[in-house]
């Protein structure tokens, strides 16, 4: 009798575990790891009844409007909620979520702004997707304390300006995607602290201003994309501080190949990695030529070498002694917009404000049609995680898989879905098997114990 009771209880517990695992309506839940999958079901809000022990929550491709405290549980490790219509995230939504590793909030175009402390305390956060969120600015401490963050996706927002030290705590950051924004300047401390950064994508912005020290902490940077900006000039000294650089894209900028281009020309001669074309837009006699193909004779009457020692001294000095109350002067940008520029900073730029060049406006068209092909190539580089090792062939040429970098509006197949369906049917058949077994045992019990 004892034996019989024990066996039954065991079976019931086994079956009961599967039964009691609640799951929100229209969602699929499964275990190992505990997952709730509610994607693409026109949810207008986060469904109720998400089991508190859920580790992975998939809510992408719905129409969710708001994220509030209490919607999720601090056991969450992975949260995908991209391609919804989130307009508001309560600042405390993720507070105390110390297990959270990946958050995908991308493609929520009406989000527009985030509170400074939204991500505070997420010490395990590894990947943060904020692409296509309509962000026009970032609060200054928004990434504070995210020491484990490796992938930060901020592309295709409306960012005009990045405050100094925005990324300063991100000592582990490997990928920073900022392309397709409206950035026009990179300052001395814009990227301070990014000592592990491997890829910095800044293409398709309006960058015309790069501080000479803008890249000074990026000792491990291998890829720098600056194509399709409004750069007229970039001093070789800006790039000298990048010892690990392998891939540089500078095409589709209105380069001026006068004496100011000499230091870049010299840098390109020394550089052993892969570069794009650098097509000159000015002066008239060099228009359409690639800076890389020019010879020394193409820079007649230019002051001998780059004033390297002079600028380095200046550099060292400036980095320690920036006067915050310095003079301002107004620089009128190409689009007629005015920018405030610190006068003292001008002496250590790597670039030249666009307004300084008086000619070459009409040359834009020629330049564009010439470079369109290159740009198309560059528009979809293979730069996703793990791409690092498969986009360089032994001879050093770069091969690219197309569309790897396009935003995930068409979604990666959530790794759980297939499994989810299998699991659902599996647990059902398991339930049937259990019922059958229990029935069998109870009906034949006398026979068994006879
Ligand atoms: C998304 O939200 C915004 C702001 O509330 C609204 O104007 C827009 O119509 C919504 N879009 C969809 C597709 O629901
Ligand atoms: C940074 O990344 C490495 C692995 O790349 C990891 O071992 C380390 O724990 C991470 N976090 C910090 C704070 O360095
Ligand atoms: C350059 O970027 C802008 C957006 O900043 C885009 O509209 C334009 O098509 C791009 N130009 C090329 C040649 O790709
Ligand atoms: C810094 O600049 C001052 C003059 O402004 C100069 O006397 C000094 O030698 C400079 N220091 C360095 C390290 O270049
Ligand atoms: C600003 O510049 C002007 C002219 O260059 C100068 O006379 C003035 O002293 C400067 N002001 C400050 C605060 O540096
Ligand atoms: C080093 C360098 O290129 N400095 C330039 C910064 O910009 C000003 C004009 O705004 C130039 O005169 C400097 O030569």
Q: 410-433 pLDDT, tens per residue?
A: 334 333 333 333 444 444 555 565
Residue among 202, 204, 368 whose CB has most ligand 3 atoms within 8 A, to mutate: 204
Tell me the three state secondary structure of residue 279: strand
Say yes or no: CB of residue 317 within 6 Å of ligand 4: yes
C-beta of residue 170 within 8 angstroms of C-beta of residue 145: no
CA of 326 to the centre of ligand 5 (A): 8
Joined tokens for residue 235? 């001093």
pLDDT on residue 432: 62
Going by pLDDT thresholds of 50, 70 and 90, the confidence category of residue 435 is low
Going by pLDDT thresholds of 50, 70 and 90, the confidence category of residue 308 is very low
Burial of 30 (0-12, 13-18, 19+ CB in 10 A): buried
The answer to pTM > 0.85 is no
CA of 131 to the centre of ligand 2 (A): 24
Could you tell me the domains of the chain? 25-297+343-354+366-391 (3.80.10.10)
CA of 325 to the centre of ligand 5 (A): 10
Say yes or no: CB of residue 181 within 6 Å of ligand 3: no
pLDDT on residue 429: 54
262-302 pLDDT, tens digit each: 999 999 999 999 999 999 998 999 999 999 999 988 988 88
Joined tokens for residue 154? 């901020």
Going by pLDDT thresholds of 50, 70 and 90, the confidence category of residue 346 is very low
Percent residues over pLDDT 70 in the chain: 63
Among 103-117, 169-183, 345-359, 383-397, where is mean pLDDT lowest? 383-397
Q: How far apart are CA 365 and CA 208, in angstroms?
A: 19
Among 207-211, 215-219, 320-324, 407-411, where is mean pLDDT lowest? 320-324
Say yes or no: CB of residue 375 within 6 Å of ligand 3: yes
Which atom of ligand 1 is found nearest the CA of 109? 1
Say yes or no: CB of residue 431 within 6 Å of ligand 4: no
Per DSSP, 398 falls in state B
pLDDT at 150 over 60: yes
Percent residues over pLDDT 90 in the chain: 59
CA of 355 to the centre of ligand 6 (A): 12
Q: Beta strand 255-256 with 223-225: parallel, antiparallel or unpaired?
A: unpaired
CA of 322 to the centre of ligand 5 (A): 15
Residue nearest to atom 3 of ligand 4 (CA): 317
pLDDT at 47 over 50: yes
pLDDT at 436 over 90: no
Q: How far apart are CA 244 and CA 195, in angstroms?
A: 12
13-23 pLDDT, tens digit each: 444 444 445 89
Say yes or no: CB of residue 316 within 6 Å of ligand 4: yes
CA of 50 to the centre of ligand 3 (A): 43
Among candidate residues 207, 190, 105, 117, the one with its CA nearest the CA of residue 154: 105
What sign does the CA torsion over 399, 401, 407, 408 have? negative
Which atom of ligand 6 is found nearest the CA of 212? 1
C-beta of residue 126 within 8 angstroms of C-beta of residue 153: no
Residue nearest to atom 2 of ligand 2 (CA): 172
pLDDT at 360 over 80: no
Among 14-23, 93-102, 152-161, 381-390, where is mean pLDDT lowest? 381-390
pLDDT on residue 303: 80
Say yes or no: CB of residue 228 within 6 Å of ligand 3: yes
Angle of CA points 255, 257, 258, to nearest 5°:
130
Residue nearest to atom 8 of ligand 4 (CA): 317
Say yes or no: CB of residue 313 within 6 Å of ligand 4: yes
Q: How many CA atoms lie within 13 A of 184 on its CB side?
A: 14
pLDDT on residue 329: 33
C-beta of residue 239 within 8 angstroms of C-beta of residue 231: no
pLDDT at 357 over 80: no
CA of 85 to the centre of ligand 1 (A): 6
Residue among 308, 311, 312, 313 whose CB has most ligand 4 atoms within 8 A, to mutate: 313
pLDDT at 200 over 90: yes
Nearest ligand, CA 157: 3
Say yes or no: CB of residue 359 within 6 Å of ligand 1: no
Say yes or no: CB of residue 312 within 6 Å of ligand 6: no
For helices 417-443 and 2-20, the axis angle rounded to 10 degrees is 150
pLDDT at 440 over 60: no
pLDDT on residue 282: 86
Say yes or no: CB of residue 349 within 6 Å of ligand 6: yes
What residues contact 344, with CB distance under 8 A and at least 6 apart? Answer: 318, 322, 323, 326, 327
What residues contact 132, with CB distance under 8 A and at least 6 apart? Answer: 106, 107, 108, 109, 155, 156, 157, 407, 409
Mean pLDDT to the nearest integer, 209-225: 95
Q: Beta strand 338-342 with 328-332: parallel, antiparallel or unpaired?
A: antiparallel
CA of 406 to the centre of ligand 1 (A): 23
CA of 172 to the centre of ligand 2 (A): 6
Residue nearest to atom 6 of ligand 2 (CA): 148
């Amino acid at each position: 009798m004892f034996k019989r009771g024990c066996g039954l209880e065991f079976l019931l517990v086994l079956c009961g575990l599967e039964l009691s695992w609640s799951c929100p309506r229209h969602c699929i839940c499964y275990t190992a790891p505990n997952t709730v999958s509610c994607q693409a079901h026109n949810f207008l809000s986060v469904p109720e009844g998400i089991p508190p022990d859920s580790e992975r929550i998939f809510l992408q491709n719905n129409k969710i409007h708001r994220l509030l405290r209490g919607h999720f549980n601090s056991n969450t490790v992975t949260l995908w909620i991209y391609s919804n219509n989130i307009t508001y995230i309560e600042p405390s939504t993720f507070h105390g979520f110390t297990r959270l590793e990946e958050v995908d909030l991308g493609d929520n175009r009406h989000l527009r702004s985030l509170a400074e402390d939204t991500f505070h305390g997420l010490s395990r956060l590894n990947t943060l997707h904020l692409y296509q969120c309509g962000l026009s600015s970032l609060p200054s401490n928004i990434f504070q304390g995210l020491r484990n963050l490796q992938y930060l996706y901020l592309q295709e927002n409306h960012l005009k300006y990045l405050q100094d030290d925005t990324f300063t705590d991100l000592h582990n950051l490997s990928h920073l995607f900022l392309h397709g924004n409206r950035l026009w300047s990179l300052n001395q401390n814009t990227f301070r602290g990014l000592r592990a950064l491997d890829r910095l994508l800044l293409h398709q912005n309006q960058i015309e201003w790069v501080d000479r020290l803008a890249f000074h902490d990026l000792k491990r940077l291998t890829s720098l994309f600056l194509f399709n900006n409004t750069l007229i000039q970039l001093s070789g000294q800006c790039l000298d501080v990048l010892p690990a650089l392998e891939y540089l894209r500078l095409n589709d900028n209105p380069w001026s190949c006068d004496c100011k281009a000499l230091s870049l020309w010299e840098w390109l001669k020394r550089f052993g990695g892969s570069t794009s074309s650098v097509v000159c837009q000015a002066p008239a006699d060099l228009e359409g030529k690639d800076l890389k193909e020019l010879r020394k004779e193409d820079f007649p009457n230019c002051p001998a070498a780059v004033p390297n020692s002079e600028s380095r001294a200046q550099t060292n000095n400036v980095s320690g002694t920036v006067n915050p109350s310095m003079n301002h002067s107004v620089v009128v940008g190409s689009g007629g917009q005015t920018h405030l520029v610190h006068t003292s900073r001008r002496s250590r730029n790597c670039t030249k404000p666009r307004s300084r060049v008086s000619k070459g406006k009409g040359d834009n068209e020629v330049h564009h049609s010439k470079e369109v092909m290159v740009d198309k190539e560059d528009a979809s580089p293979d730069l996703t995680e793990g791409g690092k090792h498969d986009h360089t062939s032994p001879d050093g040429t770069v091969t690219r898989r197309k569309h790897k970098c396009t935003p995930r509006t068409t979604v990666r197949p959530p790794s759980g879905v297939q499994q989810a369906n299998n699991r659902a049917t599996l647990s059902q058949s398991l339930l049937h098997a259990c019922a059958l077994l229990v029935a069998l045992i109870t009906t034949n019990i006398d026979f068994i114990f006879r």
